[in-house]
Structures are given as C-alpha cells and as structure tokens.
Amino acid sequence: MEGDGLCRFGILTASDRASSGDYEDLSGPAIEEFLEDAISSLWETVRIIVPDEKTQIENELRDLVDNKKCSVILTTGGTGPAPRDVSPEATEAICDRILPGFGEQMRNISLKYVPTAILSRQIAGIRGECLIINLPGSPRSIREILDELFSAVPYCVDLIGGPYITTHPEVINSFRPAHARRE
C-alpha cells in the first residue's frame, strides 16, 4: 500500500440533517475539491455521512483506519459547543495520541475570519498510521483552514508510516525538513 504511494483519504461528514437526507452534504464535496486542487501524488477517497452520534462516528472512524486503511481522515461538522456536537469526543476516543497544535492553529486561522472560531473544539490525532483531523462544517471555513494548514500534513504522514504525499506547490507548498525530502 505505501509502496505504490497511493494515499487513501477518508472523508466523514457528521451531520444529523445530511445523514437523514434533509440537507445536501456540501462539506464532504468541499474537502474532495480541495484534494483535487492540492494533491499531485496518487490518491483516492472513501466518503461517509453519519448522524451526530458519538458511538456511530467512533465506529466509522475505526473502520476507515483499521479496515479501509486510510492514511488521512478529514471529518467535517460536529465541532461546536452544542449538545449534539460530538466529533471531537469521538475522535479523541479512538486516537492513540492527540496533536494539540492542529486544534490551536485551526482556531487561529478561523479567528482571522470570525470571532466565534473560539467556540470550535476541533482536534487532530493519530490512530495507528492514520492522521485524523476535525474540520468545521462550513465549506468556506474548511477551505480557509486547509489552504493554510495542509502544508504540514505530508510530513506528518511520513512520520507515522504512511505514503509519500506530494502537492501542487502553487496551491500548497508542503514542507519537509531537508533530510526527509526525496529529491
């Protein structure tokens, strides 16, 4: 799997309304569009839509890592302070370790656009060889965050044993220390 350099991205939309069909999922496609614009190495996606139920999100995340062998999972929705928002709790429950810098920087990025970014509880963590990142629900916020944050993702995936991801430098200038660059 790592051999051929193919990276499988899980995209999980947590939304009561999108999962019941009351509402079109716009966030999952926004993430996929970002990947199309940014990634120059081989990739594919597995997309899931689930209601805002902690156990269900946990089960889907475990399946995306352990069975579907995703190297990166981007979740969207369920990161706010409302009682039905449980994506960070589900993520923390199935991760081996948390990377606190992601939550901090995602909030700092969004704070440049809206003061209520402070309310987001989004986190990122590692399960096995997979990096899992919580994104907010709004397609605009998703893009603002990924445009600024994704440059650190390829090197993180290297460090946890995943495939070598490359990006289109005019979209994402991904960074690796000199000793980790392939050419």
Q: Which residues bind a copy of itself (CB under 8 A)?
A: 80-83, 89, 97-105, 107-108, 111, 114-121, 126, 131, 149, 151-152, 155-156, 159-161, 175-177
Nearer to a copy of itself, 47 or 160 (CB): 160
**What is the three-class DSSP state of 52?**
coil
Nearer to a copy of itself, 50 or 117 (CB): 117
Q: Which residues pair with 124 in a beta bridge?
A: 133
Least spacing, CB of residue 56 vs a copy of itself, in Å:
19
Nearer to a copy of itself, 97 or 182 (CB): 97
Nearer to a copy of itself, 56 or 105 (CB): 105
Question: DSSP readout, 80-99?
Answer: SSSTT--HHHHHHHH-SEE-
Nearer to a copy of itself, 60 or 85 (CB): 85
Question: Could you tell me which of 24, 5, 4, 6 has the C-alpha nearest to residue 15?
Answer: 24
Least spacing, CB of residue 61 vs a copy of itself, in Å:
18
Least spacing, CB of residue 126 vs a copy of itself, in Å:
6
Least spacing, CB of residue 117 vs a copy of itself, in Å:
7
Least spacing, CB of residue 111 vs a copy of itself, in Å:
7
Please tell me the distance from the alpha carbon of residue 166 to that of residue 93, in angstroms, as a whole number: 30
**What is the three-class DSSP state of 76?**
strand
Strands, DSSP E only, in 69-179?
A: 72-76, 97-98, 124-127, 130-135
Residue 111, Cα to own-chain centre: how many angstroms?
Answer: 19
